[in-house]
Structure 1
Amino acid sequence: MKLNCDMGESFGAWNMGDDAAVMPWINMANIACGFHASDPTVMARTIALAKHHDVIIGAHPGYNDKEGFGRRPIPHTLDEISHSVAYQVGALDGLCRLNAVTISYVKPHGALYNQMMQDPAIFEVIVSTIAKLNTARVLPLSLMVLSRANNEAYMQIAKQKGVSLLFEAFADRAYTTEGLLVPRHETGAVHHHPDLIKAQVLQLAQGKVKTQSGKLLTLQVDTICVHGDNPESIETIKEIALLLESANYNK
């Protein structure tokens, strides 16, 4: 079971997270592309760090909203979303070439990710954009999406466009009965206790998750998202990685 984490989200004099401490314990780095966070130098440093630790690199595009950290829905036309995603993937791709590495997947950030999972039109334009980018790539990009109970329509769209999907679940987020993430503004939406997070990770590694109501859902999980934005969460990531290894879920 692969762990993924949002990385490279500092910019200028502003520091976000401790990428150097997190990178050794994850398998996939979702690297911010300069819109919701990051800048060219931070992107390049994060790429080099991922390369050093043999971590798979993914592009993490979001809305052009550093003030809101990309978590605010911003009205865009479908063409604008396509151009924005292609622009950000291209920026990261150029810096990856400088480091002789490549991007393997795309994971939208924040509001763009949430809207993609709520609006089939936004999902389809992102998939179509990736499909077009893949025509000029030796190794095609995949798209990381939220694992949930009703992904059949999205799977069909991706299949028609020839884009592979990576299904992710979240170590520290509560789930609704429908298998969606509990909105961040609601009480209990984010798990903070390490024992609760680790217990959920072990469930997810088996393709299951317990919802807020106590219902046990079955999910397809290819990767688990972890967050390392403070010393306590970084220590939890380390414990999760060792836990998965000891349970033989990291194969």
Structure 2
Amino acid sequence: MLMEMGILLFVFSMIVFAIIRQTKKMISTKKRQVLAQHYKRIAETEMVLKCATSLAFNSRLIILLHERIISSLKAILAVEPKQEKIKLHISQHYNLISTAKVTSATGPFVEPADERIAIDLARSISSLKIILRSELNNNNISLEDCNAEEAKLEKIRLKLRISNCLIKATVFFERESYHISIKMLNDNIALMEAVDIKDEFLIEKHEQMIILLNKSTYQLAELEAKNKRLEQLEQPEATSTLDTLFDQKQR
């Protein structure tokens, strides 16, 4: 009897131990998932914040992004309360919010120095639009403000595209690849004229693209005319050679 009770107690203890171990494993897995999720969220938001000056963010948007980071830092702190660095980071972002509240909006759009930077900025815009929708779902931004920010981002995306197009079209023009330059310019001019987004930057770029398009079209016409003249000059020589051969055969 005592042996049976001992066996039952042992089996019960093993079951309890297995349950405890499984529970700890589940808690540990959940903890890692939460940490990974919020560290990723912070990294994505900080990456977008780095483009605040280049993309001309206003104070409201900058504050929203810092608040998003703070919420993730607090979630991490709830899981790992002993991390003093997290508390320091939270304090730093609160200070940045205070600065943003008394600082005027960032300056006008600045053209990227090269295509690589333009691509990075375009990716940041895509990431920011996802962030805005996430914050809208969490009721941290109104639908009206979200739509207004997205409209600004689309305007900046258009500026990036037009700026990059003009740079590349100029390169193809200089390489005498006039066909490519003309197609790029026509496509982007049509895009600009189709959207109801106008400001000094876009008006200036539109004028520059029209000028470059006219130059490319003129140079292409000149090149085609030159090639045609060369073909005409070569044709009589070829005909003369054939006539000579024909005459030789007749003799």
TM range (shorter): under 0.3
**What's the TM-score, normalizing by structure 1?**
0.25
Greater helix content? 2
Greater RCO, 1 or 2 (C-alpha within 8 Å, sep 6+): 1
Greater strand content? 1
**What's the TM-score, normalizing by structure 2?**
0.25
